[in-house]
Amino acid sequence: MLLASRLERAPAGARPGDLLRVALVGCGGRGTGAAIQALSTAGPVHLVAMADAFRDRLDSSLAEIVKAVPERVDVPESRRFVGFEAYKQAIDLDVDVVLLTTPPGFRPEHFAHAVARGRHVFMEKPVAVDAPGVRAVLAAAQVAKQNDLKVGVGLQRHHDPAYRETVRRIQEGAIGKVLFYRCYWNSSGVWTRAREPGWSEMTYQMRNWYYFNWLCGDHIVEQHIHNLDVCNWIQGAPPAQAQGQGGRAVRTGPDTGEIYDHHAVEFTYADGTKMLSQCRHIGSCWDSVSEHAHGTLGVADVSAARITSQGGWDWRHRSGEEGVDPYQAEHDALFAAIRAGTPHMEAEYGATSTMTAIFGRMATYSGRLLKWDEALASNVRLAPERLDWDALPRSLPDAHGRYQSAIPGVTPVL
């Protein structure tokens, strides 16, 4: 990893009244939301640059941000950048904070570049889609730490008072020693985008990115990371082993790419504690997005902030009428740390939880029992060799527009 440990520019030592200049890289629905949240933090903060692969996404995002926080947007035409290299043009401007909210496949490269330029970063989860990407993020996180950069990661449950209080109680022994965790992201799935005439294969995959691993990582990585992350958070470490199974039962249409529609993984932590994980994108089934911990003295529904112990002791977190918006709280915390000069480094657990999800995908795709160290050391890269609109991704459609998905027992994952 060729990363300067000394930066070419000292990070902004912002004081409470200083103007912070923000660049948004990745102008989808989530990036637009993140930008509005960043611009809604305390103290002067302006959005000064935007970058996206597609001009129409950038334009619609800018319109929404202007609608929400008009006085904090200063993005003239000359600071709107489009294409695969747009991120560099935005980050290389005189900005203090970069919001990285593209599909996750680009995150490692974008994060490393932002850190090398001395920018504070908010980046969405997941932070990578393969092990080389995770290692790149971990390396850049070290550089960021050495140079006092602040990094927030969009695992917003860490900023939700109900989760924080429940996790603290479990860690303090409210249910005794944890024997196993259960966690789920079983839902009916997400949007698809149909191929349009005149699109190259690259344009199609970029538009319908959820269904291609080099961009999305599969839904076990893109969504289920939230639930895996909560169990890791309580446990204080990532799992040491994983085995599982998955496949495609209904995701067989032309716009559902190569990802699976269900995974079930049994993770084992170093101390023998198990985490049983399911994620499914199939309609009209049992749905749940939740995390649970089972201990020697009781059980916790972490997602419902509810603890029941065998001693009859029952606790439930109650929020006020309006509650706290954790998506806003994660930006408030990051920007407060930037202004106060206090440590704020979420990239490491963000990368570890991302790797946990990739580890799970490796287990379901291969059908093998895998070890954390070999998974993290994997050199399987999913991104194409070259990024351009005429370049070909690795996974290509057959004559019927269908893509090959992983075959357990056959597909190499390490």
Cβ 262 vs Cβ 279: under 8 Å: yes
State which of residues 10, 19, 194, 270 lies at the interface with other proteins (CB under 8 A): 194
Per-position x/- string for 248-267, each x denoting binding to other proteins as judged by CB under 8 A, each - no binding = --xxxxxxx-----------
- Which two tokens mark 26? 């990745």
Binding footprint of other proteins, residue count (CB under 8 A): 42
Residue 279 CB, nearest distance to other proteins (Å)? Answer: 12
Please identify, using beta-carbon distances, which residue of 235 and 278 lies nearer to other proteins: 278
Cα angle at 105 between 406 and 55, to 5 degrees?
125
Please identify, using beta-carbon distances, which residue of 6 and 318 lies nearer to other proteins: 318
- Which two tokens mark 146? 């050495």
| Calpha distance 60→46 (Å, rounded) | 18
| DSSP assignment letter at 386 | S
With a CB cutoff of 8 Å and minimum separation 6, the contacts of 329 are 156, 159, 160
Instruction: Choose the stretch contacting other proteins; rule: CB under 8 A; options: 30-38, 109-117, 126-134, 352-360.
Output: 30-38
Residue 210 CB, nearest distance to other proteins (Å)? Answer: 10
Cβ 277 vs Cβ 228: under 8 Å: yes
Cβ 369 vs Cβ 241: under 8 Å: yes
Please identify, using beta-carbon distances, which residue of 281 and 339 lies nearer to other proteins: 281
Report the amino acid identity of residue 147.
Answer: N
Place of tokens 């429940």: 166
Told to check if 398 binds other proteins by CB under 8 A, we report no
Cβ 310 vs Cβ 238: under 8 Å: no
Please identify, using beta-carbon distances, which residue of 34 and 362 lies nearer to other proteins: 34
Positions 157 through 186 that interact with other proteins (CB under 8 A): 186
- DSSP H helices in 300-380: 326-340, 347-366, 372-376
Strands 274-281 and 314-316: unpaired
Which residue from 56, 49, 67, 69 is spatially nearest to 28, judged by alpha carbons? 56
State which of residues 322, 373, 385, 390 lies at the interface with other proteins (CB under 8 A): 322
Residue 372 CB, nearest distance to other proteins (Å)? Answer: 29
Told to check if 288 binds other proteins by CB under 8 A, we report yes
Residue 312 CB, nearest distance to other proteins (Å)? Answer: 17
Residue 398 CB, nearest distance to other proteins (Å)? Answer: 12
State which of residues 13, 283, 341, 412 lies at the interface with other proteins (CB under 8 A): 283
Told to check if 40 binds other proteins by CB under 8 A, we report no
Told to check if 191 binds other proteins by CB under 8 A, we report yes
Told to check if 59 binds other proteins by CB under 8 A, we report no
- Which two tokens mark 255? 């716009």
- DSSP H helices in 147-223: 161-171, 201-207, 219-222
Collapsing DSSP to helix, strand or coil, 254 comes out as coil
State which of residues 13, 16, 44, 323 lies at the interface with other proteins (CB under 8 A): 323
Told to check if 289 binds other proteins by CB under 8 A, we report yes
State which of residues 9, 177, 316, 394 lies at the interface with other proteins (CB under 8 A): 316
Helix axes 347-366, 131-146, angle to 10 degrees: 170
- Chain positions contacting other proteins, by CB under 8 A: 28-30, 32-33, 36, 61, 64-65, 68, 156, 186-194, 223, 250-256, 283-284, 287-290, 316, 322-323, 325-327, 400, 402
